[in-house]
Structure 1
Amino acid sequence: MGGGDGKKESGATGGGSERDSLSLSLISQYNEIPLERGREIDLSFLVRIKAVAEMNEDRRAPVTLIATIDRSASMKDKLPLVKDSLKFMVQQLRDEDKLAIVTFDHEVDKLLPITSMTSSGKVLAKKAIESIRERGHTNLSGGLLAALQLLYDVPLSESTLVESIVLFTDGKANFGIKDREPLAKATKSMVNEIGRQVCVFTLGYGSDHDSDTLHAISDAGNGLFYFVENKDSIPDSFCDCLGGLLSIAAQNLVLTLTVNDELCRMVKPPLTSYVTESCPKQTYKITIPDIYCEEEKCIPIHTRLLAASSTAGCIESKAQILSCSLTYFDILRCSPKTTTATGAVLVSKEISDPVIVKEYQEDIELHLTRYDVAEAISSATKLADEGQLESARAALHRYKACIKKSVVFGLPLAKYFEETIDESLKGLASQSHYSGHGKPSMMNYSLSHYQQQSHGAGAGASSILSDGSGVIDRDTVVESFFGEKFYLIEFIAFILQHLKNLLMDHFSRTTWPLKTTDFDWVITVPAIWDAPGKRMMREAAYLAGLLTEYGSINKFTPVSYRSLPLPNEVNPDKLSLALEPESAALYSQETVGDQIESDPATSIIPRPSDYMVIDAGGGTIDITAHIEADGSIVVENIPTGNAWGGTQINEAFSKILEGIANDPGFEKFLASGDRSQNMADIIKIFYTEFESEKLLFGKEQTEEIRISLPSRFVRFHDKNLQAGIKKRSGIDYEDDMLYISKEVVESELFGPALNGIIECTLQAIKSNDNDLSTFYLVGGFGGCKYVHKKVKAAIDKSFHGQGRSCNVIVPPTPQLAVATGAAIWRKNPEKIKARRSDATYGIGATQSFEDDKHDEYYKFYNEEQEKYKCDSIFSVFLEKGELAKSDEVITASSRPSRQRNTTMKLQIYSTPDLGIQYIKDKNGKSTVTKIGQIVIDIPNPDNLPREKRLVDVTMDFSGTEIQAKAKYRVTGEEVKTVCDFLSAQQT
């Protein structure tokens, strides 16, 4: 097939259509070059091969995997995680996929022959996995060759397009073939004998494995080597490896490059580690390994244009400098393909210097840097192998300095290059550390840069489940539907980082590129959230890099018994948390005079001074009452609400569908094939099909809602659906469509949630002392026609019973009310003058004992101070229901409890009650809840006595977050103060 035009202004053309798995393009660093007699010009190009962005599961090529597992005695404490990883692997395979399991110690056992992963095959696989027990020594060659023999014995007619071996070991070969070269030769010989595209992936664990040998095996077997540094990384490494194997887009790639020898010559061979063959007439053939979905392979090409007389015939036209063609086998389409691209540049006599295309110049420089980093790390590895650690470190430092001077310095990918150099330098700390950890890591880094091989193609989590403890702290863990565990704060951080990257990518295409630090960031949160919930969003923003140009999260921390550290607070004033009902109120007040005439629910009324906001979102209902006077707002009530948001409707529908299909939790369907694809179907049912019907329900003439069911779900559950419908009234099923009558929707789906919303709303109205009559109903769920109709009717009925009238208004685009209002608030946060405290807040304190004030039970003698003190006093800052004004703060003085302390921690407590005097009763039971602590730095370089080291702590409860500042009287300066609400359960 021929090539099509790409970005013509830069001399780049490319081939490949939307129907192909790969696209090919060729870009030039210059858009235009001058015609100048006798002058030669260096010109660089970048060949870019890009695979399709996502895998269509129905078209994925079947795979055959041979899991080859070291079960020697040293594997005892790793085998449980290896087994779990193998079980996860089994879950991801489809009926047409095949799996075999080989284990080795001093003996080799084929626990599972090559078996199709049907439901019965998966049962056999799981039994085989459970039977693995540790014993003996390490006959690595025996296990590997047995795995290769299994593939050799498969007839061509029964083979699959993707055939791979995944070998896991934690030690060195001490049985069978022990030396690297013979083992690599044996691997290559067997792969050649098989005569098909076979890949061998090796996973080396810890400091005792032979990384050189495993690298040699994976190279000989056309695969990759993974260094598994610790136990917690075992599942991730298996997932990365498996994810790639299940998303191969193309195989047998051969790239042919030809230079126009009449106009230029190749300065040096293409910069790549792939096998490159030099052919006549400045032509090169490059063999490229399998490419996975979303992967990109880029190869820099250096050419030199000959003296300008050679290009005289190309004046004011495109001179074709380079052409390339790519042949490959398209795995997703099961057919061979060819695509082409050309590199051309405009020759002009009107200019004196080449015209650079900045975006392409950076691209080319990045990949030149990538290749140079791989070379630098590879050279440092060779030096370290010879015992020259100092020379290795010096080489890496020199190249890191080069990056800082290059045009790509500061770009995200260049930062990653620097990080890999830094990690390599850590591996060179000592000869023993290099041998155990440094070398395999450095080999991984250099290989990764050389081959641009993605190590993150594993299936990701697409749903999270709360741990159900009800306590949120920095170590709260959530679980994906694959059973993988993640720290909630990091999960949120990756979401925030993704949103940030989308925004920055958008602005990067503007005339003035912006940095993350150019923005003030606002995150909206429900008003009913407590301090730890709000603090989690702030710390997640720090991790996501919203407030800095560096140091954002790049991987999940393995879940363990160790607590996550407190993240660094950088530019904290650049981030604000906006309360959602307040934001919605600001938006609604701004738009109240511009209602949509066609909707009677939004009739125009005078701007109210008293009003209530009902924010009905997906998860929560959030209600606040406001008084507006002289342009300022007072939040008059304690925020109230509940969890009867829109997802409750989805839960009710889920119960109905689970009952009809006789499949609780849809576990049967999820386990019937590829779990991630099946989960995607479930998500589509609820968050695409049902969600749109839910929001439209309540319009005139609505008699039913109709839900289109995915074909996979229908094929699996068709008989159950037919039988289940017969047991239900008001629900029909026909032609992959589920029909739910208006009566069922109102009573079973919306009924419970609306009762919860209405009950909460009426209670908020009753407890409000002000004579308000305007209600704003906002949020994605609040914009639902039926919700508005029912909430309005309930409030109308309540008011009519008192002989009063009211207005229940849904503003335009209610789903955007919170986001738009948050921007309005951030521009003028002082507009909210005061808020009611939702609880009583204070700190635990120790004071000098006073007979007429303190209880004898809490009396104790302080030997250092030589006086009687009273312990466990609840020193109250703010009472529940008290109005916290924006211009009022609370100041208290404190000093360290011990002379040697350079940090002071004030524990913060809260209670819904009034009149609490002590933080625990006489039985030792807590009377208040510890929600966090204020951590204050109090240095003491002059070794001042404790009594002179007073700190004035200022607390501000009037904002959307609890804030604290501290002034050290010793210096008269503010000291570092952190409000830590996520370590409350650890101290």
Structure 2
Amino acid sequence: MSSPDNKTCGVCYGSLATGKGQAIFTAECSHSFHFGCITNNSNNLCPVCGIKWKDTPFTMPNSSASNTFFPSPFLPPQRQYPRLSRVLNQPQFPLRPVLESETFSDDDPLPGNVTDPNSLGLTTGLERVTIKAIPERPALGASESLSEFSVLVGLKAPSISDNGRNFQHAPIDLVTVLDVSGSMHGSKLSLMKSAVHFIIDNLGPSDRLSIVSFADTAQRILPLRRMIDEGRQSAKQAVDWLSARGSTNIVHALKIGVKVLEDRRQQNPVSTIIFLSDGNDTCNYGAFSNPRHELAYLHLLPASICPQNRGMENSGQQTTFPVHTFGFGTDHDPVVMHAIANASGGTFSFIESYEMLQDAFASCIGGLLSVVTQDLCLNLRSASHGVEIKSIPSGRYASETYNGGSQGIIKIGDLYADEEKEFLINLSVPSLPDDDAERKTSLLDIKCSYRDVASNEMVQIEGELVEIRRPKSVFPQDMVLNMEVDRQRNRLSALLTITEAQQMAETGNLAGAQAVLSKGRSELLATASAQAGDTLCMWLDGEIEETRKRMATPQVYMQQGRAYALSGMSSHTSQRAASRGNNVAGAQVSAASFGFGGASGGPSAKPAVFGAYVTPTMANMVAQSQQQSKLAKGISPTPK
């Protein structure tokens, strides 16, 4: 393709007239540029026609430390891409900056009928979700009445085989929203590119990926494309063309990311956004009086990631896209990123060490690529007169009780393969009439419903009736608190402790925050499950202590403590793994971890990993990322 006017620079569209004091470079494809505009083009591709240059009159800098070709920030959008847009729409040249006003309905068609599991190879249904229910004590005296008696209800998703990952999980539409502002220059940009390459390599042929980059404004640089060979190549080329410059516009970035999903012609069963930033929004402070207040950001964002923005007239059932946020380094805005993740149903990860970014992405992707159930609801019903459901501390999962406490519901949504969720259902239990006969009290009927992604069918499951004995005389063994109930109380208590400390630290009361954490830690270590050496309790103890250390001084709190605490709160409220600090969820550690229904070192203990809520698929994906990093550094991989 020839330039319509070879008297203008193909990058800045400025005049190439002689006598302007600028050197001119004419490429072998006949297109001409200001020498200063083209010297940072590290890809050797012509910005006008996309032809690969064989020879250049300058030395190409390393891509990780260079500002690759990027339109002039001083020109309005209408003048930045007048000729470039015509060639960047070609399949072999994927970079195509677009405006927010455009409609993103150019997504790749899905293979066959996405609603038909046979067209996607999802021909075999998975095993069913399993339910467990455990009263806090096996017996309660017939004459006793308790205003709060807990039953632990747990769910575990089915497994998928290693060779079934590509056809037993729900296909995903993934939008990565990536910060390329000036602060991402150098090694951070290079590490981010490698991490996104890892995502691209691990998406299946039914999965689709779109890439949005942002600085002063956001640009969709890759349409929603299937990750077949051509799509992978286009995605990697788009990532490689990213360069760092400008300021940070988080609001516009998320609007564009959401628009990609809202405008698509077809939809995969799972839709989500991964959002990475290393800074604060520097473009929208004028929209509100207090830029530190998280709600000031939320009201500017689309309702499909912040449902509270829908208003009463649009409060019906609508799609919400989870946003998994990654705060990169110590200068990002953790309050905003936690708020966005919490509002949308995603997780917030704090990436303190730049080198851990790919592993953190791998942990998140390992979960997203193993969704096996959707629309999961847990339905609870009182099984005896006088037994009432008093409360359901369900974290970020919507729950409610109704019909006078005789019924309750928890809306959980998606589950990853092998993922576990546990909830304490707090009941009131009445005394029984004076009677010599030994009795039982039925406490709860439990049912759950969900969509099996492998068969695309709705599944209904009934749990066993939850009962306790009601003897006239209670023996000591009847008073022993169940360890699994105790450890779940400890998890909730640790969450409350960290939340209270973080709120105090935000007001500047670090001494009070440290006192709260020390007290919470002492109470945790005094519990029966901690005394028994339960590994979850040991991990919670370490988390509380690490949070306390990161609240030592105002400077340490601002750089580390705030993000670390908020990431922990995000993980616990969703019961879903999140990376934080210098630790990746799913990375191997030396101590034994805890398992579903298991205690420290018990038969169901799983391989050791950092943190709670890690599934085998997540751990395997992190291990794959780490092996890849070793090979890239020339280190012999660890034998299996």
Would the TM-score normalized by the shorter structure come out above 0.5?
yes
Instruction: Indicate conservation of the 8 Å contact 1:34/1:354, yes or no.
Output: no
Aligned-residue offset at 1:337: 2.2
Aligned-residue offset at 1:220: 2.4
Aligned-residue offset at 1:173: 0.4
Is 1:60 the counterpart of 2:169? The answer is yes
Query: How far, CA to CA, are the matches of 1:319 and 1:239 in structure 2?
Result: 47
2:138 match: secondary structure: strand
| AA aligned opposite 1:305 | V
Query: How far, CA to CA, are the matches of 1:109 and 1:125 in structure 2?
Result: 14
Instruction: Indicate conservation of the 8 Å contact 1:30/1:355, yes or no.
Output: no
| AA aligned opposite 1:91 | D
Q: Which residue of 2 aligns with 1:28?
A: 135
1:412 to 535, 546, 566: 535
CA deviation vs aligned residue, 1:51-87 (integer Å, no higher than 9, x gap): 1133532222111111111000000130101000100
1:46 to 152, 171, 183: 152
1:319 to 441, 445, 461: 441
Q: Identify if the C-alpha distance between structure 1 residues 346 and 290 changes in structure 2 by more than 3 Å, giving closer, same or farther.
A: closer
Q: Identify if the C-alpha distance between structure 1 residues 370 and 188 changes in structure 2 by more than 3 Å, giving closer, same or farther.
A: farther
Decide which structure has greater strand share.
1
| AA aligned opposite 1:138 | T
Query: How far, CA to CA, are the matches of 1:505 and 1:361 in structure 2?
Result: 12
Instruction: Indicate conservation of the 8 Å contact 2:536/2:593, yes or no.
Output: no
Query: How far, CA to CA, are the matches of 2:535 and 2:154 in structure 1?
Result: 19
TM-score by length of 2: 0.66
Q: Which residue of 2 aligns with 1:174?
A: 282
Query: How far, CA to CA, are the matches of 2:568 and 2:593 in structure 1?
Result: 28
Higher relative contact order (Cα pairs below 8 Å, separated by 6+ residues): 2
1:284 match: secondary structure: strand
Instruction: Indicate conservation of the 8 Å contact 1:188/1:220, yes or no.
Output: no
Number of residue equivalences: 463
Q: Which residue of 2 aligns with 1:302?
A: 426
1:369 match: secondary structure: helix
Q: Which residue of 2 aligns with 1:935?
A: none
| AA aligned opposite 1:287 | K
Instruction: Indicate conservation of the 8 Å contact 1:320/1:342, yes or no.
Output: no
1:308 match: secondary structure: coil
CA deviation vs aligned residue, 1:326-360 (integer Å, no higher than 9, x gap): 222222332222222244334354632474496x7
2:304 to 186, 190, 193: 190
CA deviation vs aligned residue, 1:927-948 (integer Å, no higher than 9, x gap): xxxxxxxxxxxxxxxxxxxxxx
Instruction: Indicate conservation of the 8 Å contact 1:380/1:396, yes or no.
Output: yes
Aligned-residue offset at 1:216: 1.5
Q: Which residue of 1 aligns with 2:402?
A: 279
| AA aligned opposite 1:304 | S
Q: Identify if the C-alpha distance between structure 1 residues 290 and 508 changes in structure 2 by more than 3 Å, giving closer, same or farther.
A: closer
Q: Which residue of 1 aligns with 2:86?
A: none
| AA aligned opposite 1:63 | I
Query: How far, CA to CA, are the matches of 2:390 and 2:456 in structure 1?
Result: 38
Q: Which residue of 2 aligns with 1:351?
A: 473
CA deviation vs aligned residue, 1:199-258 (integer Å, no higher than 9, x gap): 211111122111111111112222111111121121121111111110112222222222
Q: Identify if the C-alpha distance between structure 1 residues 186 and 342 changes in structure 2 by more than 3 Å, giving closer, same or farther.
A: farther
Instruction: Indicate conservation of the 8 Å contact 1:61/1:331, yes or no.
Output: yes
Instruction: Indicate conservation of the 8 Å contact 2:225/2:231, yes or no.
Output: yes
2:548 match: secondary structure: helix
Query: How far, CA to CA, are the matches of 1:400 and 1:284 in structure 2?
Result: 32
1:352 match: secondary structure: coil
1:190 match: secondary structure: coil
Instruction: Please give the residue correspondences for 1:510-525 in structure 2 after superposition, counting only pairs within 5 Å.
Output: none
Which deviates more, 260-269 or 165-174? 260-269
| AA aligned opposite 1:184 | L
Q: Which runs of 5+ in 1 are unaligned?
A: 1-17, 457-483, 516-543, 545-551, 556-675, 681-987
1:302 match: secondary structure: strand
Q: Which residue of 2 aligns with 1:14?
A: none
Query: How far, CA to CA, are the matches of 2:352 and 2:513 in structure 1?
Result: 22
Instruction: Please give the residue correspondences for 1:940-979 in structure 2 after superposition, counting only pairs within 5 Å.
Output: none
| AA aligned opposite 1:185 | H
1:165 to 273, 277, 290: 273
Instruction: Please give the residue correspondences for 1:754-773 in structure 2 after superposition, counting only pairs within 5 Å.
Output: none
Percent identity, aligned pairs only, is 23
Q: Which residue of 1 aligns with 2:505?
A: 384
Work out which of the two has the higher radius of gyration on C-alpha atoms and give 1 or 2.
1
Query: How far, CA to CA, are the matches of 1:212 and 1:114 in structure 2?
Result: 30
Query: How far, CA to CA, are the matches of 1:499 and 1:320 in structure 2?
Result: 34
Q: Which runs of 5+ in 2 are unaligned?
A: 1-124, 311-316, 612-619, 625-640
Instruction: Please give the residue correspondences for 1:81-120 in structure 2 after superposition, counting only pairs within 5 Å.
Output: 81-120=191-230
| AA aligned opposite 2:224 | I
Is 1:75 the counterpart of 2:199? The answer is no
| AA aligned opposite 1:61 | A
Q: Identify if the C-alpha distance between structure 1 residues 507 and 235 changes in structure 2 by more than 3 Å, giving closer, same or farther.
A: closer
Aligned-residue offset at 1:187: 3.5
Is 1:336 the counterpart of 2:466? The answer is no
| AA aligned opposite 1:292 | Y
Instruction: Please give the residue correspondences for 1:796-811 in structure 2 after superposition, counting only pairs within 5 Å.
Output: none
1:290 match: secondary structure: strand
| AA aligned opposite 2:365 | L
Aligned-residue offset at 1:392: 0.6
Q: Identify if the C-alpha distance between structure 1 residues 226 and 256 changes in structure 2 by more than 3 Å, giving closer, same or farther.
A: same
Aligned-residue offset at 1:420: 0.6
Aligned-residue offset at 1:93: 1.0
Instruction: Please give the residue correspondences for 1:647-796 in structure 2 after superposition, counting only pairs within 5 Å.
Output: none
Instruction: Indicate conservation of the 8 Å contact 2:126/2:158, yes or no.
Output: no
Query: How far, CA to CA, are the matches of 2:301 and 2:479 in structure 1?
Result: 46
Q: Identify if the C-alpha distance between structure 1 residues 377 and 336 changes in structure 2 by more than 3 Å, giving closer, same or farther.
A: same
Which deviates more, 20-29 or 141-150? 20-29
Instruction: Please give the residue correspondences for 1:844-863 in structure 2 after superposition, counting only pairs within 5 Å.
Output: none
1:115 match: secondary structure: strand
Q: Which residue of 2 aligns with 1:199?
A: 322
Is 1:264 the counterpart of 2:387? The answer is yes
Is 1:293 the counterpart of 2:417? The answer is yes
Q: Identify if the C-alpha distance between structure 1 residues 289 and 379 changes in structure 2 by more than 3 Å, giving closer, same or farther.
A: farther
| AA aligned opposite 2:248 | T
1:401 to 522, 536, 540: 522
Query: How far, CA to CA, are the matches of 1:414 and 1:499 in structure 2?
Result: 10
Instruction: Indicate conservation of the 8 Å contact 2:160/2:417, yes or no.
Output: yes
1:122 match: secondary structure: helix
Q: Identify if the C-alpha distance between structure 1 residues 420 and 28 changes in structure 2 by more than 3 Å, giving closer, same or farther.
A: same
Aligned-residue offset at 1:505: 7.7
Query: How far, CA to CA, are the matches of 1:163 and 1:342 in structure 2?
Result: 34
TM-score by length of 1: 0.44
Q: Which residue of 2 aligns with 1:363?
A: 484
Instruction: Indicate conservation of the 8 Å contact 2:389/2:408, yes or no.
Output: no
Instruction: Indicate conservation of the 8 Å contact 1:260/1:322, yes or no.
Output: yes
Q: Identify if the C-alpha distance between structure 1 residues 216 and 507 changes in structure 2 by more than 3 Å, giving closer, same or farther.
A: closer
Query: How far, CA to CA, are the matches of 1:142 and 1:346 in structure 2?
Result: 55
Query: How far, CA to CA, are the matches of 1:29 and 1:307 in structure 2?
Result: 17
